[in-house]
Structure 1
Amino acid sequence: MDEKGFSKSREQGVLWVSHPVTGRILPFAGEGKFLQLEKRRNCYYALLPEGAKGEAYEDVIKETDIEEHDALEVLGEDRENNEILTSLSRTIQKRHIDMPAGSYTTHLFEKGSNKIRKKCGEEAIELVLASSPEDLVFESADLIYHMMVLLEAEGLSIQEVLAELKKRDS
C-alpha cells in the first residue's frame, strides 16, 4: 500500500489500497480487518488476521474507471486546484483594495496583521484538534484562507508559498 492507503486505513479502521494504474484509494477486496499497520522507511505494511483472503482491488474497480482516469490530463487537477487558489487570492486582493462593508475579509484587514496572525493561530489549533476527516478538511480550508489573508496583508502571495513548496518537492 502507499501513504494514501495507509492513512485512510488508519482513519477508517479497515484496509484500503491504492490502485497502481489510477491511484484511486479503494477498499481491500477481501478481509478488510487488520491487526496492525506499520511504516518502515518508505514502505507501508498491514498485518492481516491469520487466514485472511482477498485480492487487492482487482474485482472492485471497473474498466470504465480506468478508461475515464486515463482520459484525464495528469496536470488537470493540479491546474484546477491552482486556479482555485488564484481565484481566492484575487478575491482577497480585491477586498483589500475595495474594503467592502460587511465583508469578513475587510473586517480582518481593518483589525490588522496582528489580529490576522492570531486568527491563523486559532485556526491551526482547530486543525490540530480536528477529529474527523471532514473536520480536517474544513479546518484546513479555514487555515489556508486566513493564511492567504495574512500573506496579502504583508504584501505577499500564495504563489510565493507555492514556489517555495515547488523548491522543496525536488
Structure 2
Amino acid sequence: MKYSKFERFKMIQQMRILKALYPLQAEQYQENIKVLENGFELEIDELSDGLYEGLDRHGCEEVRAILDMVAVMQRSNENLGFPIPEEKVKFQGFAGNDHFAQHSYIKHLIDDTKEYEYIKGVLNSHNPYTFPSYQKMLERWRSWGQPHQMSAEKILELLDSQ
C-alpha cells in the first residue's frame, strides 16, 4: 500500500511515542521509524501484516441474523420438548479458511463479548458449504417474517432448505 509523506510522518510520530513508552521494544520501533522515513513500501506493508480486511456492516448484520435464527430454532426445539435431536439444531459454525471474516465475527460474538454465548454448537465447521447453507436458511426464515417461535415442522423445513 502506498502512503503519502504526511501519513508516514504521522506513523513515525506514533512509533516515536511507542518507543518512549516501551523501552524494551525501542530497537524494533527505531527500525520501524527508519523504514517509514525511507518509504520502503514492502517493509511498511509488513507493519500491518496482522490486520485483516474485516467485515462490513451488512456482513455483520447477516452473521447476527444467522445466529438469531439458530437461537430461535434451538429455543423452539427446547420449548417443544426436543422433538428434533439436539444435534440437528446445533450451530455448525463457518469454515475458518473459507469464510474467515464471518468465522472471526462469530468467535468475537460468542467467545469475546458473550453476546451469543448461549448458542450451542461449534464455531469452525471446516466445511466451505456451511455459511452458504445458513444464508439459504436465513432467506427462508426471513420470508416467514423471522418468527420468534417455530413448530417442529417449521424447524425441519428450515433445516431442509440448506
**TM-score for both structures, normalised by structure 1:** 0.25
Q: Which has the higher contact order (CA 8 A, sep 6+)?
A: 2
**TM-score for both structures, normalised by structure 2:** 0.26
Structure richer in helix, relative to its length: 2
